[in-house]
Structure 1
């Protein structure tokens, strides 16, 4: 079923990771079934919206029982293509890149970290968290030899778009970008941007509101 996500509305696909997370938590707690009311409460949406979402990908619950947690987790896993191994590199072997290489959810989602790449010659040849650091000059050769399809951009702003375009030409089609840089590609490339500064600003705003309420 992987690859069929384009047949579904984007707003539904955006919700699937949250559904997956909450359902997986319930499975870890030993739950076999969950009702639309319970799931709606976790998701912060209405029960009718839960039923509508699940009906979109042809999954129906059991009247009076609810949804089979394991079955719907398996369906979401297929829809999001989480079982397919996706060879991945991290561009930038600094603090952020090193932390990401230890993040278990990357492997759980099928992203297998194969190598670091960095412009710092002092890092070339080093092994960090069991992953070797290569010089940027070797990146094209490595991508083609190791069938790399995804890259995590964990480097300073300067030069990010140029590096991304360069490695996309070697066949990388998926990018997880931790840089506040906007760039476009002429070919089919998929980008997920993670703007931590946006979250920090919103956190600051909410904190300010809380402090003002206390005055």
Structure 2
């Protein structure tokens, strides 16, 4: 019997750049195709309940918690899908590398750049996780409005966007950039669906 194909799709990017909305849309489309799918998320909200520092106040410990919890969520999501479906999809709303971008942005925001060796364990933890079959990276458009309930620091959002794309280049992680443009979002959705359709039996 052929083992079920597991597809892992992750997303990373600055706050309020459409990450969760995009993953929700992909999830809905996959469910419409009867493809088994599970989506992880809400890591920032859960970190605040621990409580751990967030956003521009991130520390090595809070970043380690985000990475480890995100990985654990992905493993649990995989298990929840069972082994009956020939294709199973896990959507990681905040890929494990995302937390490092937020941490690096927090360091710069606070003027406390720590040499990479100081946070090397974070990179090792993220690198130890299985690579994503498809990785999206949102691109910040500072002209797009942010909902009033999200009191994000504008400079910090810009730093997260910068460190997201810098980290992807440094680690040589293949990714698909996604802007706030409707056409860009549609192309991202279609790319995810095409990957899953290719693996799904006819």
Task: Please report the TM-score for the alignment, with normalisation by the length of structure 2.
Answer: 0.33
State the structure with bigger RCO (CA 8 A, min sep 6), 1 or 2: 2
Higher CA-based Rg: 1
- Is the helix fraction higher in 1 or 2? 2
